[in-house]
Amino acid sequence: MHNEKDLELIVQSSRGSKEFTFLREAKIADVIATAAKTFGFSASDTFRIVPAANPGQPLQAERTLVSYHLSDGTVLVLTDVGSGV
């Protein structure tokens, strides 16, 4: 059930796209971890997430969703930036 504390986002990856619901106070790092796990990516890989509307501006992992003023339905793109090896 959606409430004012939740934010519904669409995350796209090379393995498809999915709608997620996060608390507005969730950190970007939590979004990345949840999306990577859901899409079945290796936990040893490193990811970043960018707004589909502005792919040149990766979201900083330590910031919260609310700090970016994202709205319901915002599309984010999860990209692999390399192996953690």
Per run of 10 residues, the mean pLDDT along the chain (length 85 residues) is 85 97 96 96 91 94 96 95 62
Domains of the chain, CATH where assigned: 6-83 (3.10.20.90)
Burial 41-63 (b: 16+ CB within 10 A, else e): beeeeebebebeeeeeebbeeee
> pTM here?
0.90
Whole-number Å distance between alpha carbons of 29 and 15: 19
According to the model, what pLDDT value does residue 81 have? Answer: 86
- Let me know: does 19 contact 8? Beta carbons within 8 Å: yes
